[in-house]
Amino acid sequence: MSISKALQEDSLDYAFDEQHIWHPYTSMTHPFPMIGIKSADGCELITEDGKRLVDGTSSWWSCVHGYNHPVLISAIEKQLHQLPHVMFGGITHEPAIELAKKLVKITCPELTKVFLADSGSIAVEVAMKMALQYWQGKNNPNKQKIATIKRGYHGDTFAAMSVCDPDNGMHTMFGTSVVKQVFAPSPTSAFDDSNVESDLANLRATFETHHHQLAAFIIEPIMQGAGGMYFYSPEYLKGVRVLCDEFNILLILDEIATGFGRLGKLFAYEFADIAPDLMCIGKALTGGYISLAATMCSDNVAQGISDSPAGVFMHGPTFMGNPLACAAANASLELIAKNDWQQQIPAIEMQMQQELKGIEKLDAVNDVRVLGAVAVIEIDRSLNAAQLQPLFTEQGVWIRVFGHVIYIMPPYSISSQQLTKLTTAMKSVAKFLNQSENQTESTFLSHG
């Protein structure tokens, strides 16, 4: 066989991919350029043609321990041979019990009940459904709307979409099929700004007008992620808890992006020293190896649902509590419990701060912000991911821009050399954007 023939057979069928496979937030007729990934090693992705790319995204914020981790692999392997899946209706199993025990133990004492869901969006749907059923049980069936703040992101299913940012999200695309919820302005206070009076006054005004119909308030604690990577003050989150109590509104925290150490605390609500009534987790829950999410709630919420006319909580996906996913989560939580992240994240934070210093002086840069293992360069215009992708891969990194931001959320186990590669690439693309005037093509909001 000739060498060129062998290469051809080895290479991916990109043409088939283009013609037949949907990718996130892309067109089927104007496909986005794809990079074939063959394998991964630690914090690096290895392309079909053997190029190594340092992963600045942790595969959409999930793969926090890096790829091919022996502990995660062996946990999944062991479970695969024992019981890869079994229905969860009328049946239980050790991986699910172990996982729920761990989750109850590491979260605030108020969160005692665990619903295992298959993705983050579903965990959000579940939390919203729980809140609605709760108020039916409390003989307050008028409380059937959800409030949130602008610039949020909570997932792509219909209920989740309804609480995403109303302007940048997908509301206009799906018209009246997306339920109209109640939006307060997003907080203007930065993370270290404790002056949150006007932000809280805005929320109070929203609650005063709508509280009779509000079942719950949902918010991403401290970091608004896919809505633009904004960090806000823990004082605001504290005030949110107080206002929810005052107006009799359940508080749902969406910790899907922030949970498991990303911002430097195990959960972001710890910055504000509060407890939610319901909480969604996902993404890094399994260390990014397999899809799993969960909705946790308090005894009080569970009681309200039991008192509702249905008497049971009405949700039960086919792959609920999948044992393989639970085994991966248990292994990942064991790695988290070793607490390496408590040293790794402040070190990553400090290095990113130092290496991005000065880049805020560029005309095209609106803001540079770093918190925990998240670094953001906000550009003064919408960015075109397809156009910028080659600029990153040429430099041996995997970074995906969206909206106005160039950001990284690397695995916690990244080496300082690998991290320097990421920040260097971020800066060089910011400089490129500073020089070029024609990068105005817009992309709509997505964590793509």
Q: Which residues bind ligand PLP (CB under 6 A)?
A: 119-121, 124, 153-155, 220, 225-226, 254, 256-257, 282-283, 293, 447
Nearer to ligand PLP, 281 or 362 (CB): 281
In whole angstroms, the minimum distance from the beta carbon of 322 to ligand PLP comes to: 14
Select which of 14, 25, 193, 340 is catalytic: 25
Select which of 55, 156, 254, 277 is catalytic: 254
Q: Cite the DSSP H helix spans in 21-69.
A: 58-61
Residue nearest to ligand PLP (CB): 120
78 is catalytic: no
State the DSSP code for 302. H
Distance, CA of 35 to CA of 14 (rounded, Å): 9
Collapsed DSSP state (helix, strand, coil) of residue 385: helix
> Token pair 């914090």 is at which residue?
43
153 is catalytic: yes
Nearer to ligand PLP, 154 or 241 (CB): 154
Cβ atoms within 10 Å, residue 177: 10
Select which of 67, 134, 153, 289 is catalytic: 153
Distance, CA of 102 to CA of 333 (rounded, Å): 8
3-state secondary structure 164-228: CCCCCCCHHHHHHHCCCCEEECCCCCCCCCCCCHHHHHHHHHHHHHHHHHEEEEEECCCEECCCC
Cβ pair 258, 220 in contact under 8 A: yes
**Degrees to nearest 5, angle at CA 252 with 250 and 258:** 160
In whole angstroms, the minimum distance from the beta carbon of 151 to ligand PLP comes to: 12
What is the per-residue burial (b if ≥16 Cβ within 10 Å, else e) of 100-121?
Answer: bebbeeebbebbbbbbbbbbbb
In whole angstroms, the minimum distance from the beta carbon of 279 to ligand PLP comes to: 11
In whole angstroms, the minimum distance from the beta carbon of 288 to ligand PLP comes to: 11
Nearer to ligand PLP, 374 or 426 (CB): 374
Nearer to ligand PLP, 155 or 239 (CB): 155
Nearer to ligand PLP, 345 or 430 (CB): 345
* Amino acid, res. 52: R
Select which of 265, 283, 421, 427 is catalytic: 283
- What the block records as the tokens of 101 is 């025990």
Nearer to ligand PLP, 65 or 447 (CB): 447
230 is catalytic: no
In whole angstroms, the minimum distance from the beta carbon of 418 to ligand PLP comes to: 23
In whole angstroms, the minimum distance from the beta carbon of 154 to ligand PLP comes to: 5
* Positions marked active-site: 25, 153, 254, 283
